[in-house]
Structure 1
Amino acid sequence: MSSAPVPADMIALRLILVSGKTQEFLFPPGASAADIARHVHDRWPPDWEEERVSSASILRLIYQGRFLHGNVTLGALKLPPGRTAVMHLVARETLPEPNSQGQRNREKTGESHCCVIL
């Protein structure tokens, strides 16, 4: 883990691979998930070599259990500069369907679907 303080105008991202390996990178608050994926892909850590992927476009970030779309910035996630945030980094061709959002919308409208098996 890094012992150096995080610059006040940057956000340290501790990225965790599925294998459990971690690495920290520094980014400005305006960096998007796609920018981060490109940066990490272009500067792939030597101890992550076994997990190397062919393209930055399949790297996905997961923050607080949700996949981030490529245009989401660290600032939009309200991550404070000068601090460290933790995210998971996975290789995945496409983002999953946002079904949790649909569930919330159904709850708001009062619509429900129920099934009883006798």
Structure 2
Amino acid sequence: MKSTRSSDELHPVYLQINLKLILFDGKTHEFLFCPSDTAADIAEHVYTHWPKDWTKELCPATNILRLIYQGRFLHGNVSLAALQLPTGKTTVMHLVARDNLPEPNNPGQLKKDKSGEPGCSNCCAVL
């Protein structure tokens, strides 16, 4: 069963993004969203329209619902359009309860780690 945002009824389905959300226990539900909707908008909508087949005990506060897409937490201001998700197709994301998000990766630190410059490495020298 799909849930549609009432404000999206003016937008044809082929211009919307079908999100299939998966809970940690494997339960799923599909929702339709506009590309301009943000992760915070989605969390608010899901919280407000919590599916009946998802247990009520697992319904946390809206401000701790987090989306995971391709292994990364989405911050609240990220829109579906920014992720370049295809309209008219189904995209799968995970929905979890988490108080705070991890900090975005520091590109300088990643570069330093990969370049082999001083720091902790994944090798061991036996003398």
Fold conserved (TM > 0.5)? yes
The number of residues matched between the two structures is: 114
CA shift, 1:107, in A, is 4.5
The whole-number CA distance in structure 1 between the counterparts of 2:91 and 2:101 is: 21
**TM-score normalised per structure 1:** 0.83
Choose which of 30, 49, 69 in structure 1 pairs with 2:36.
30
Quick one: structure 1 residues 78 and 37, their matched pair in 2 at CA, closer, same or farther if it must change by over 3 Å? same
Kindly tell me: are residues 101 and 86 of structure 1, through their superposed partners in 2, closer, same or farther at Cα, counting changes over 3 Å? farther
Distance 2:118 2:91 in 1: 37
In structure 1, give the amino acid aligned to 2:58.
E
Equivalent position to 2:20, from 8, 14, 18: 14
The one-letter code matched in structure 2 to 1:65 is G
AA partner of residue 51 (structure 2): P
SS of aligned partner of 1:75: coil
% identical aligned pairs: 58
Q: CA RMSD in A?
A: 2.4
Gaps of 5+ in 2: 3-11
CA radius of gyration, larger in = 2
Q: Determine if contact 2:113/2:119 at 8 Å carries over to the other structure.
A: no
Change (3 A) 1:112 1:13: farther
Aligned partners of 1:112 and 1:84: how far apart in 2?
44
Q: 2:62 aligns with which of 40, 56, 63?
A: 56
